[in-house]
Amino acid sequence: MKKKWFIYVMIAMLLVSFGWNLYLFRENNRFKESEGSKYQSAVNKTIFNVQPQLPDEWAKELIDNDDVKLQEREIDKIYELSHLFGSSSMNPQMQDMMVDELNHVVELMRMMQKEYDNGLDMKATMAELQIHVDFIQEELEGLKGSLDEDGVYWYKELTGDSDMIEKMWGEYNEFRDSH
């Protein structure tokens, strides 16, 4: 008789445990869904409220060499690209990676400015920058078909009639090719 009660108690405990785990699983998914909608605003806050504090000379010109001028508006465009990633069907991990890529591009641009100011060779930094720019361009090409209304607005706002990266980096590419 004791063995029967023991078996019944064990089965009841298993059922309660299974029910509790199912409840926690559903609550966890519900929490993730509500957090998903907050993700884009968190990305925007991170990107737009924590922009790099550029010195005055950076605000005027990031790179100034003969006829090559990469101005502060170009950095603004880099940060505005995060709207495209946030409004696409890209998964959150990929969005994080793209935001990291954009931040890395800004850091490389700063490094190039320091190298230029100190008369150092910028070829290695330019090569690394080109790798990141190419990667971002590939991802943007893949996003074109998956943007929501907000993303389409930002894409048009940034690109006009020409290709975004080509427009953004045209002067930089001329500069790179001439050195």
Per-residue pLDDT band at 57 (split at 50, 70, 90): very low
Tell me which residue of 123, 124, 133 sits closest to 175, measured CA to CA.
123
CB neighbourhood size of 45 (10 A): 11
Confidence of residue 110 (pLDDT cuts 50, 70, 90): confident
pTM of the model: 0.39
Q: How far is CA 3 from CA 12, 16, 95, 152, in A?
A: 14, 20, 56, 67
Q: 123-171 pLDDT, tens per residue?
A: 787 778 777 777 777 776 666 555 555 555 555 555 554 454 444 445 5
What is the average pLDDT across 45-59?
40
pLDDT digits (tens, 9 = 90+) for 2-21: 666 667 666 767 666 666 66
Question: Which residues, including other chains, have CB under 8 Å from residue 98's CB and lie 6 or more apart?
Answer: 81, 82, 85, 90, 136, 139
Please tell me the predicted confidence (pLDDT) of residue 95. Answer: 66
